[in-house]
Amino acid sequence: MEHFRNPRNVGEIPDADGVGSVGNPVCGDMMTIYIKVEENRIADIRFKTFGCGAAVATSSMITELAKGKTLDEAMKITRKDVADSLGGLPPIKMHCSNLAADALHAAIEAYRKNKEVDR
C-alpha cells in the first residue's frame, strides 16, 4: 500500500536513453518506464502508469529495485522479485508485477538497440 499511496520516481525523463512501454489489454493497465544510463548503470529511472493500485505500486517498486544497478543486474530483476519486494500481491493482481518487470526490460532493450544504431 505504501508504494501505491506514495509512489516513487513518477514522471518522464524527457531525454531518456531507453523507454519501455507495455500494456495488458485484459485489465487496461499501461506502463511506461524511462531510464537514463551512465557508465552502464541506471542513473535515473521514472515511470508513468495508467491502471489499478497494484500497477502503480509495482511500477514504483521496479524503479526502486533498478536504480543504481548495472543494466545486466537490472535485466535479472524478475516478476517474482517485484511482487516479493511489495510483500506479495493477490493472485488476481500478479499480472501487474509482470508488466513492471517487462517494462523495465523493454526500456533496457530499447537503450541497447539505440546504442547499437549510434555506432
By annotation, the residues acting in catalysis are: 27, 96
CB distance 64 to 9 below 8 Å? yes
The CB density around residue 28, as the number of other CB atoms within 10 Å, is 11
Grid cell in block for residue 44: 535515473
How far lies 37's CA from each of 15, 70, 83, 112, in Å?
Answer: 11, 9, 25, 10
Pairing status of strand 29-38 against strand 18-24: antiparallel
Grid cell in block for residue 73: 543486474
